[in-house]
Amino acid sequence: MTESFGIDIGGSGIKGARVDIDRGELLTERFRIPTPRPAVPDAMMDVAAEILAKGDWTEGRVGCAFPAVVQHGVVRTAANVDESWIGVGGGELLTERTGLPTLMMNDADAAGIAEMRFGAGRDFVHDGVVLILTFGTGIGSALFVDGHLYPNTEFGHLELDGHDAESRAAARLREDKQLSWDEWIARVDRYLNHIEDLLWPDLIIFGGGISKKSDKFLPKLTLRTPIVPAELRNNAGIVGAAIAAVEGMP
Ligand code: BGC
């Protein structure tokens, strides 16, 4: 068994667990601590270190899924975290605190790695174009071509009807703007129709916490592309980051 530790940093919570990366399964409970406000590097890495301590992880690799563009380990954008993250080598920062080798990567890319290997994308792992979208605080995207990841696609920020798509169709808008299911579904449908016209994927995987309610909305979408719910749900980011920490980026 190959073990590693995955941490999923989100706008509202920081979660982590030990992972058996050969089976894609968590080996401990999922430790969760609310994301500190303001969401600045030092405070957030303190929380990440606390999660490692809760999981008793004192040796071995750590993978961190982060909700922004992370180019070669350096955070480049900050849509849903504090702007002081821009330019920070997030993995190095956690390594300074813990001494553990840490890889930081985009959260949707991490979720995509897990879905391709152990979830809804497993039949396309060598062949085909798969787009994984995660709907939560923002909209994350991961694009796989014949099993290879094209990192840091930011399709959540496509312009749609003059708006940033994420500001129209992210899952949190249902609460923030008190949208009815039908109103939100119409926006998601508009967004997905646009994206399938641009990318022509073979499969779209619908991820994020809301995917557990997928029977409420997937049947109502009017797409030509097959679309399926993510299977690893809330664990995808943790599992994918843990895999990448050991194997590098696919
Ligand atoms: C960020 C992406 C991230 C997504 C989901 C977006 O606002 O730009 O990098 O993957 O949110 O967290």
Cβ(207)–Cβ(85) below 8 Å? no
Is the Cα dihedral 17, 69, 11, 50 positive or negative? positive
**Full-model pTM:** 0.97
For the Cβ of 80 lying below 6 angstroms from any atom of ligand 1, the answer is yes
Q: What pLDDT sits at residue 11?
A: 85
Residue to probe by mutation, ligand 1, list 66, 104, 106, most atoms within 8 Å of CB: 106
Strands 163-164 and 203-207 come out as unpaired
Strands 62-66 and 3-9 come out as parallel
> From ligand 1's centre to the CA of 207, what distance in Å?
13
pLDDT tens track, the chain, 250 positions: 999 999 999 988 999 999 999 999 999 999 999 999 999 999 999 999 999 999 999 999 999 999 999 999 999 999 889 999 999 999 999 999 999 999 999 999 999 999 999 999 999 888 999 999 999 999 999 999 999 999 999 999 999 999 999 999 999 888 898 999 999 999 999 999 999 999 999 999 999 989 999 999 999 999 999 999 999 988 999 999 999 999 998 7
For the Cβ of 156 lying below 6 angstroms from any atom of ligand 1, the answer is yes
How far is it, in rounded angstroms, from Cα 141 to Cα 84?
23
Task: Go through 173-200 and write b for each residue having 16 or more CB atoms within 10 A of its CB, e for each that does not.
Answer: bbeeeebeeeebbbbbbbbbebbbeeee
The DSSP element (H or E) to which 17 belongs, if any, is: strand 13-20
Cβ(169)–Cβ(191) below 8 Å? yes
Nearest Cα residue to atom 10 of ligand 1: 140
For the Cβ of 107 lying below 6 angstroms from any atom of ligand 1, the answer is yes
Is the Cα dihedral 231, 7, 202, 248 positive or negative? negative
Q: What pLDDT sits at residue 159?
A: 94
